[in-house]
Amino acid sequence: MTSAVLNAAPGATGSRSPRAAFKVRTIGVFPPTVVLSFVVIALVLAWSLLPGVFTSSSPVDGVPADKFLAPSPQHWFGTDHLGRDQFARVVFGTQSSISSALVAVIIGVVVGGAIGLIGGFIGSWTDTVLARFVDVLLAIPSFLLAVVIVSSLGFQTINAAIATGVSAVAVFARVMRSEVLKTRRATFVEAAYLQGGSKWHVLGRHVLPNASRSVLALAVLQFGLSILVIAGLAFLGYGDPPPASDWGLLISNGKDYPRAPWLVLWPALVTIATVLSVNRISRWLRQTS
For 12-59, the pLDDT digits (tens) are 444 444 444 444 444 457 889 999 999 999 999 999 999 989 988 888
Cα torsion for 140, 144, 150, 156, to the nearest 10°?
Answer: 140
Q: What is the pLDDT of residues 94-131, one digit of tens each?
A: 999 999 999 999 999 999 988 988 888 787 888 889 88
Could you tell me if 134 and 278 are in contact, meaning their C-beta atoms sit under 8 angstroms apart? Answer: no
Whether 157 and 100 have beta carbons less than 8 Å apart is answered as yes
For residue 268, CA distances in Å to 10, 41, 82, 249 come to: 52, 16, 20, 11
Give yes or no for a contact between 77 and 85, defined as CB atoms under 8 angstroms apart: yes
Write the burial class of residue 227 (CB in 10 Å: 0-12 exposed, 13-18 middle, 19+ buried).
Answer: buried
pTM, to two decimals: 0.81
At residue 241, φ and ψ (nearest 5 deg) are -75, 165
Q: CB within 8 A of 127, min separation 6: which ones?
A: 119, 120, 177
Task: Tell me how many degrees the CA angle 54-55-61 measures, rounded to the nearest 5.
Answer: 150
pLDDT of the residue at 274: 95
| 76/88 Cα distance (integer angstroms) | 9
Q: According to the model, what pLDDT value does residue 196 have? A: 66
Of the candidates 117, 78, 97, the residue with the CA atom closest to the CA atom of residue 160: 97
pLDDT tens digits, 187-215: 777 676 666 666 776 776 667 777 777 88
Average pLDDT over residues 276-285: 91
Rounded CA separation 91/84 (Å): 13
As a whole number of angstroms, the distance between CA 118 and CA 113 comes to 8
Note the pLDDT of residue 20.
46
* CA distance linking residue 265 with residue 76, whole number of Å: 12
> CA 273: distance to chain centroid?
13
The pLDDT score that the predictor gives to residue 193 is 67
